[in-house]
A and B are shown apart, each in its own frame.
Chain A
Amino acid sequence: MRVGRCTLGAALAATPAHACPACFSASGPTVLATYLLTGGLMTLLPLGMVAALVLWLYGRARAAARAREAHSSQA
């Protein structure tokens, strides 16, 4: 409980942090559009990679299951 109150207090007391001074101080629609594009890329790329890995493993598992079924039906 105390830890929670301290965390909340620290979060409220903290000043806003701007991760990228280039993006924060930049002006103009081109920079904003680029910022949003690269932000989207950096957000979606890891999700896409995890999804691709899961799909790949799922495909391998299905192929292995099919091979097992074919083997057992032959036996």
Chain B
Amino acid sequence: MARQGELVESGLLAMAVFLGTEAMLFAGLVSAFLVLRAGAPVWPPPGQPRLPVGVTGVNTVVLLLSAYTMQRASVATRGEARAAMVRWLAATAALGTAFLLVQGAEWTALLGHGLRASSGLYAATFYAIVGSHGLHVAAAVVTLLVLLARAWRASSAGECRRRVEVCRLYWLFVVAVWPVLYALVYLS
């Protein structure tokens, strides 16, 4: 909620501008991936391990589900339901952590199969794109845990409303970017 005389809450505006720079980062990575891929005679290159499409598909659903729980946390702050807000924030953090754990297990398996960043453009672009997104999810989970600790101590849900809204914007961005990356890197 904006203060008296304020058109937009300054934290939200700052996050929107920040997300603009983040969108450009991912647009650059996607552009590089598309150009490199178009220039390759065969994609994925022969001899490279195939990416786990099914597991990551399920993981995508987990991440999409976290957008729903984050939205519910935001609704709970408007309804002054502190316990519900804490519960939904915890659920979001748990889903984000689960996503990261599955991604970590996937990376470990791929490294075990010999897919290293130094093994070629295929691996380098995969680790650059998926790794960048993973770092963003990790940052979002850490932010969410800090927010959760504050929400736990807060006397009312309204006290955390601004922080939850800013965090929600970032979380929704991170979730919205992933299906695009998944479709490009895993499915195409």
Contacts and interface: CB of A to CB of B under 8 A. Distances in A.
B81 interface: no
B28 A22 contact: no
B142 interface: no
Contacts, number: 54
Given A37-B34, A53-B16, A64 B7 contact: yes
A20 interface: yes
Interface string A41-75: 11001100110010011001100100000000000
Interface residues of A, number: 25
Interface in B9-34: 16-17, 20, 23-24, 27-28, 30-32, 34
A46 B28 contact: no
B105 interface: no
A14 to B, nearest CB: 24
A42 B39 contact: no
A60 B20 CA distance: 19
Nearest to B19: A49
A26 B28 contact: no
B27 A34 contact: no
B35 interface: yes
Given A31-B39, A38-B35, 5 more contacts: A20-B35, A26-B38, A34-B38, A42-B24, A42-B27
